Every structure is written in C-alpha cells, then in structure tokens.
Amino acid sequence: MQEIAHAAQLSGLNNEDIAYLASLGTFGRHASNISKTLIDKYCKSDELVVPQPYVTRVPMLVRRGNTEKVVLADHHFFLPTDWVASITQFNDSAVINQVFNFDKVKDFWNDHDSEDPKLYKNPVTQIKDFKRTVNPMLLHGDGGQFQRRDSLNVISLHSVLSSFSTAFKFLFLTAMPKKCTNVDKRNNENDTMYAIWRILVWNLEAAFRGVHPETQHTGEPWPANSNRARMAGKPLFHGYKLWVFGINPDLEYLQNQFGLKCQSFNECCWMCPANKSDIPFTDAAPFAEWRKRTYNAKQNRAQPATDHIIMQIPGVVNETFCIEALHTNELGITSHYIGNVLWDQVYQKYGAGKTVSERMSNLWNLVMQTYSDLGISSSNRLGKLTLEMFSDPSRPHQDYPCLSQSKARQARYLLPVVVKISEANMQENPCTYTALCVQAGKALLNMYNVMDTAGMHPKPLERINFREAVDIFQMNYGRLAAESQRKEEKKWNVVNKFHYSAHSPDYFDFFNIRFCSAYGGETEVGLVCALGHRCLDGTPPHKISSKLAYKYRLGQHLRLVHNAEVAFEESDDD
C-alpha cells in the first residue's frame, strides 16, 4: 500500500492521505514498521464508532512445550456501556439507528403485551419510565472454528430494534479460544468462562441501570484522566438503558455454557418437568402430562433455570432463554420431517425407478422441477441431494432419517417442495400413513407462514393460528412416530427439539420467535472467526484477543459509518 501511494505521489498526485501513506516506514525504507504504525493510527484511534477495548486479566490455559498451565493473561472485551458511548458520540442518527434504534423503544413497548410472563416480577418493570427508556437486547454466543482443531467462543449483543438486517448490527463483546478455556467447577477463580461472564455481567448490570460503570469490575477506580473515569456514574446516551430481553444461542450452548436442562439431562427441559421416564418429553398429545405442569411465571421466579452467573444480570429470568427457531425448527423438526419423506421416496419405493440409485436420481429431478414450479430462488435451493444427506446408504433401516448437510435456509425452502411430493404420494397411494405425512407437512408450512407474515408482536388471530399449526404438526408427526415404533421401524424420530418446539406457541404469543432466531448471529460468529484466523500468524491463541479486537474495530467502524449493508452471503451453518 505504501509503495502504491508513493508511486502515485511521484507521478504527481497531490493528496493529504496519499502523502501520509507514502511516507510510512520512512518512505518504505523500514517497511516492517508500517503495519504497526497503521494499526496505532487507525485501529487504536478514539475517533471510531467502535469502542476502545477493556483489557483485563483472566485465567487461561496456556501451552508451553508439552506442559499446560493456568495463567492470568490479558484479554480484550468490548463493553456494552462503551458501545453505547462510542456509537452515539457523533450523534449520527443513521449509525445510531443501525445499531440501537432508540427512536423505536416507545413503539416496542406500546405493542408489547403487559401479560408477557417474562415481565412478571421482572426488575425491568421497576425502572421508572421503562416504556420510554429501555432498549430490548439479544445476547448470543456460539463456537466457530478459526483454526484446525480449535474454535472461538464468540459472544455478542444486538438490539431487537436495530434497523440493520445483516450481521453488522452485532456488538461483538469478546471471543475466547476453546483451547485456552480452563474449566474448574470447584474454583471459579480458575475458570476461564466464569471470569469472562463475570465481567460481562458486571457491565450489563450497569447498562441495565443506564449508567457508565462507576469503577472497574474489580471495584478499583478507573485510571485518572481516562475517558472511562470521566464517564463514570454518568447516564448513558439520553438516559437509555439496555435490557437483556433474550438469550438466543443454540441448545448445545444453553446446556454446555449456561447449564440449562436440555438433552443430556434426564429432566430434559427448563420450561417444564418433562423427562425421559414418567413425564415423557416425547408425548405430543394435547393433554400430555408435561403440558399440564409447564412452569408458570411464579414458579419460574421461585426456581431459576440455572445457577449460572448470567442469572445475576438484572432482568434476566427463565423466560429470557429463547426457543431459537433456526436450530429448533429448520435444523430440528423440519429436517426430521423432510428426511422421512425423502427416505420413503427411495426406500419405501414411493418414487419412480427400479433401483435405489434410479429412484434417488429421479427424486433429485423431481425436487429441482418442484423448486422451479414453486418459484423458489436459486439462492435458497440445495445445490445437490444425495442419499447420505438423509440416510446411511450402507444401513438405511438402522438409523432414523433426518436431513443433514443442509443449511437452515435450504431446509426451510425444501419444505414446500417435500410437502408437494408428499401430496402426490397421497394421491397415488391414499391411506392413513400418506394422509398423516401430508397433514404434518402442511401444518409445518402453516407454522412458517404465520411466523413469516406476523410482525414482532403477533396479533390475536396470528397467535391462534401459530398454536394450531404447531399442535397439528406435533399430533400428526406423533402418530407417525408411534406407528413406526409399534412396527419397530427406525423412522419419525422424536428428539428433544420437538418438545421445545411444542413450547414455542407460549413464547410466540408475546414475541414472534422469528425475531430471536440465530440467523445473523451465525454470520457474525463466522466473520469473527475468519478475522481470528487472520490474527494467528505467529501469535499463540491466548494472545489473539488483542489483535482481533483492533482489526475488528477498524473493520466494523468502516461498515457502520459507510452504511455498508453490502451484499453479503449470510451463513447459517450449524
């Protein structure tokens, strides 16, 4: 870059920025200094809409030679309260709306039903004027691969009200390599993620009160004359406050990071006493025992879903944990439904063709034809369909069918295609089985139609329609599952995600679960991991947070101030 700028200058271009770039590293004579000079000037500047990182020491697992040791090492965070200060510092309403959209706070609360169980005895309702000042936020965490055999645990926050539709609305908070994460349940002081969450909880508590933290998280005063010392105890922008309205990672993260009761527990649900024995989570009946005993708001307040420190953020209650649609539905119930219908085409010989491979190739042709009949855009289609994507061809009767290797969005748009195929089967082959397949599929499509057309706060009729669609799907799929079990066939598997989806109408009544799905979050994790990968050259993983923070600062600043909602392929890999 310096060479190009210098050449441009020599050929007569007279421009301040070019002259500066040309002069870097003493006009290229000390080229190795250029990168550091640029990072210091641009990535560390106070003039960015992305805050300066908060740097503090946390316990990390560090490998030296063949030994591993827990050491305290510097780690970089972007604090939510600092984000509010930096995003609002230039009063640029376009940038502020992309991220926080405070103007919409009043509308959100006007539309939000005060009967929402999440609001029962919730400290947010104790805030004077909360319907004018409290911005609802979603907290996301997920692991993403950033180098061979290591992943980053990426934690971020975004406003439900953000006007930005892509991943760029996310406020990146911090990222920790898995290999550096020490787990010590007996001594929190040695536990890496405990230290990380303690700092985030400390700051989100201040954000909830709507003030810049009075001290550092340790209770020590801020360094004299620092920006943070000047801001200490002062209200956030115009007295606004941030409330963690939803926590929306996938189920694995909810269970492994926050200790919520999910698939690995015998009592496998944090919303009701469903279990793997006498109150079966698989019971899809309208009068299932777990339905009668689903926890109400009063029970939820008396019995926190987890003892994780995250429950100490004021305003976080059991209902804060979202039923996240991408993993529960698209990569859950929808993928199971699709897998079974496709399996029948090939192995139940519903499709045309004499051999498995003939039926498979006819099936793919049929899928492509139906995509085009239904006008499904090519970006939402599967690029290929193979037997391995819904069965194990070497032992097709020994594993439950389920669509895999498909992105969430592709599963969503394969559903109408598969329902069409199912309808054709019923025409050809009218019987209870094919009718149940069609009814389950149509109900699932209805569920998506209601979600896709309803706004953030569903209207009474939309609530009824959503609940009806979910219940009809559960009932028909449940009958198919029961019938397969009776015949000892491995089909129509009922995994935990069906149970969580069955709870989803209780959430949809007060907030459309489409608006807390992890689509953007998955993209954000992908971006941070790609950046993390680029910070690795010669840097041990426990030190990458500094490089990552400064590179992210400049990149995100440019995206926000140049309104760079550019064409960017959203990733929704699991």
Distance CA 386, CA 404 (A): 10
Nearer to Zn ion, 279 or 426 (CB): 279
Enumerate residues 264-283 that contact Zn ion by CB under 5 A: 269, 271-272, 274
Retrieve residue 225's tokens: 């004359």
Burial degree of 502 (CB within 10 A; 0-12, 13-18, 19+) = buried
**Any residues with CB less than 8 A from the CB of 134 and at least 6 apart, and which?**
105, 109, 124, 127, 240, 241, 242, 243
Enumerate residues 232-271 that contact Zn ion by CB under 5 A: 269, 271
Nearer to Zn ion, 79 or 271 (CB): 271
Dihedral, 417, 418, 420, 423 alpha carbons, nearest 10: 180
Looking at residue 539, its amino acid is T
Shortest Å distance, C-beta 291 to Zn ion: 9
Instruction: Using alpha carbons, select from 195, 171, 277, 124 the residue that is nearest to residue 557.
Output: 171
Nearer to Zn ion, 58 or 502 (CB): 502
Nearer to Zn ion, 260 or 272 (CB): 272
Distance CA 525, CA 161 (A): 20
**Any residues with CB less than 8 A from the CB of 209 and at least 6 apart, and which?**
241, 314
Shortest Å distance, C-beta 500 to Zn ion: 7
Chain centroid to CA 286: 30
- What mask of x and - would describe binding to Zn ion in positions 400 to 439, judged by CB under 5 A? ----------------------------------------
Nearer to Zn ion, 171 or 260 (CB): 260
Shortest Å distance, C-beta 486 to Zn ion: 25
Q: Measure the CA angle with vertex 242, ends 239 and 247; round to 5°.
A: 175
Say which DSSP state 512 is in: -
Enumerate residues 274-333 that contact Zn ion by CB under 5 A: 274
Nearer to Zn ion, 151 or 501 (CB): 501
Shortest Å distance, C-beta 503 to Zn ion: 5
Buried b (16+ CB within 10 A) or exposed e, 217-237: beeeebeeeebbeebbeeebe
Bridge partner residues of 151 (DSSP): 145
Retrieve residue 174's tokens: 């911090």
Shortest Å distance, C-beta 295 to Zn ion: 9
Retrieve residue 404's tokens: 């895999």
Q: Helix, strand, or coil here: 430?
A: coil
Nearer to Zn ion, 202 or 500 (CB): 500
Nearer to Zn ion, 208 or 498 (CB): 498
Interface with Zn ion (CB under 5 A), residue total 4
Shortest Å distance, C-beta 118 to Zn ion: 17
Phi, psi of 13 (to 5 degrees): -75, 125
Retrieve residue 464's tokens: 């009824």
Nearer to Zn ion, 274 or 323 (CB): 274
Shortest Å distance, C-beta 505 to Zn ion: 12
Shortest Å distance, C-beta 263 to Zn ion: 12
Shortest Å distance, C-beta 113 to Zn ion: 22
Distance CA 543, CA 180 (A): 10
Enumerate residues 22-61 that contact Zn ion by CB under 5 A: none
Residue whose C-beta lies closest to Zn ion: 269
In the complex, which residues of this chain contact Zn ion (CB under 5 A)?
269, 271-272, 274
